[in-house]
Structure 1
Amino acid sequence: MNTRITALATVAAAAIAAGQLAVAAPAAALPGRTLAFGNSALDASNTKVARAFCPDGTVVVGGGAALQGVGSDVIKFRTLTPFLHGTDSYGYEAIALEIRPVASDWSIAARAICAPKPAGYQVKDVRIASGSEPVKTASATCDNGRRALAAGGTVRGPSLATTQITLRGALVDNAHTGGYAIGEETTGGFSGTWDMIATVVCANEPAGYTVINKDVPAPSGTTDVAAQATCPGTTKVHGTEALIIPGTAGDVHLYFASSVEPNQSLIRSHTSTPGQTPSWQLRAQAVCAN
């Protein structure tokens, strides 16, 4: 394991928990970037929800979350997404649940990256139909040449506590004009139906806009992988996206996906089935702008 990345993950997780952390117009700056924080309950309940709300007068342009206080092999995310609730409530939401019973207390720390509303701003959600496919992909596309600032995803079963489905991750697409999310069933499969939602945050292209991807393979026998993407120059990270590639029948899950301020995206994943060492790689994505 890269000790620098491990140290960054520890520092960043502590910072999150403490709260420290039209037709497109020509590129303009995206000023006034700020952070907002929200924590779930810290207890032994099997499902947690954390929401970080942007301050009044700002909108969400990215975000992330981290699991706190428990082993990374026993909890998984089912939601990692920016949101718009109603007409003016913006933020970032994370939902996680236990894969296996956990006796100790645990929580989620969520972080929203916020800014005054940029030109062309929009939040789009696309839900795909419910079905029993083992793997699903949902995509959302920006309107009229806008650029994607952040992406998110949610998998939904018959109840919030359905453990047989998992979120593999979400990314801004290769054209940078939309986002997509991938979900899948866990190793034993799921006999019921489930659906999922992709979310994308869009705006006219800001100054310094670029999308950086960093892929890190999992060597044979590895149970924990970290990937880190860094924004160039003076640009700052907005969307902090992650994807497990390829999915391995739900045997690998994300447990850390957030920014290391001000210019890095740090992602961590772990195997979730004892004794298994599936082959996978982890993609960290940083959506950068001034």
Structure 2
Amino acid sequence: MSTTTSTHPWRRFALTAAVLAGAATSVAAVASPASAVSGLQERGGVSASNSVALKQLSIECPPLQNAIGGTATIVGTTQVRILAAVPSGSGTSGSGFGIVASEQESGTTANWRIEGTVICAPNSSLPGLEYQNAQSAFSSPASLGATATCSPGKRVIGMGGEAWYNNPSDRSQVVLTGIRPNAEGTEVTATGFEDQTGFSGNWRTYATAVCVNPVAGQHPVGAADGFDSDAAKSVAPQCDSDEQVHSLGFDLTGPSGGGAGETHVHRLGKAGPGGVINAVEDADGLSGSWRLRGYAICAN
């Protein structure tokens, strides 16, 4: 695994013209409460609604602001996987939040779209800002993981992850099974799993940790549902009432890890002072038990 400080991890979501035909976006401002990171605001976007198998949505922050997190929701069907949800650092093209989603291998005839937001903050409100990115080996095991670590003395204010493949035609073969902070708030791990039919090609996972000098009340929180065979699950990690969500993550566990590639997240959302994360089994179900955990990065 390698770790680098990079500015545009989500720029690698360059897709074919056919895919981009399903990725038209609209952007609008969304009001946001005050937080320890002053000037925090959100901008929303939505992709085209159709039955294209693979879509991306990139939402940029205003000039002189940086992305620390975002939300991602699939609308129209639950049988579409979020494969990437990644904040990126500033550069000549700005800072933003990138989302990639794919139908599962069996496909769907439903029209669907991505709805998302980017959570932005002014450069001046993010002392010591850095984007630490890590990648796993590019290989073909059943599961892969990468961990991005903050520089000493800094803490995670945002996080992201991606399950990546060489060709868009491989989009249905892997599942993003986790974007999770450690308890100390110093690193972010992203995990992926091949789907239940396996995958002979090479793929990898990427993790992104958005790090800053510690701010008031900055800490990760988590919530988990029961370890059972329910077909759909929802968890709501909650910040305190005087805190604000700065970023969201999740973790899927189950037989052979990651729900054996047979479960996926289709919503990373916000609700009040917390998050709402939803996941389901794939179209033909999962015979074993599995668990969904959700995470939020909170600050006063």
TM-score range, shorter chain: 0.7 to 0.9
The equivalent residue for 2:271 is 260
Q: Does the CA contact (< 8 Å) of 2:177 and 2:264 recur in 1?
A: yes
Q: Cα–Cα, structure 1 residues 212 and 85, in superposed 2: closer, same or farther, change >3 Å?
A: same
The alignment's TM-score, normalised by the length of structure 1, stands at 0.86
CA distance in 2, matches of 1:18, 1:217: 37
CA distance in 2, matches of 1:139, 1:106: 31
The equivalent residue for 2:215 is 206
Query: Structure 2 unaligned runs (5+)?
Result: 1-25
Aligned residues: 265
Selected match of 2:87 from 76, 82, 91: 82
Q: Deviations over 1:25-69 (max 9, x none)?
A: xxx931111001121121111111011211112111211200011
1:214-225 paired onto structure 2 within 5 Å: 214-220=223-229, 222-225=230-233
The equivalent residue for 1:282 is 292
Q: Cα–Cα, structure 1 residues 107 and 128, in superposed 2: closer, same or farther, change >3 Å?
A: same
CA distance in 2, matches of 1:115, 1:54: 8
The equivalent residue for 1:39 is 46
Query: Structure 1 unaligned runs (5+)?
Result: 1-15, 22-27
Sequence identity percentage? 28
Q: Does the CA contact (< 8 Å) of 1:35 and 1:111 recur in 2?
A: yes
Selected match of 1:151 from 143, 146, 159: 159
CA distance in 2, matches of 1:124, 1:171: 14
Q: CA-atom RMSD, angstroms?
A: 2.0
Residue identity opposite 1:255 in structure 2? H
C-alpha deviation, 1:174, in angstroms: 2.1
Q: Does the CA contact (< 8 Å) of 1:61 and 1:113 recur in 2?
A: yes
Q: Deviations over 1:203-238 (max 9, x none)?
A: 011112121111112433x10000001111311011
Selected match of 2:169 from 138, 154, 161: 161
Q: Does the CA contact (< 8 Å) of 1:44 and 1:105 recur in 2?
A: yes
CA distance in 1, matches of 2:29, 2:270: 13
The equivalent residue for 2:15 is none
Q: Does the CA contact (< 8 Å) of 2:175 and 2:195 recur in 1?
A: yes
Q: Does the CA contact (< 8 Å) of 2:68 and 2:158 recur in 1?
A: yes
The equivalent residue for 1:105 is 111
C-alpha deviation, 1:272, in angstroms: 0.4
CA distance in 1, matches of 2:276, 2:29: 17
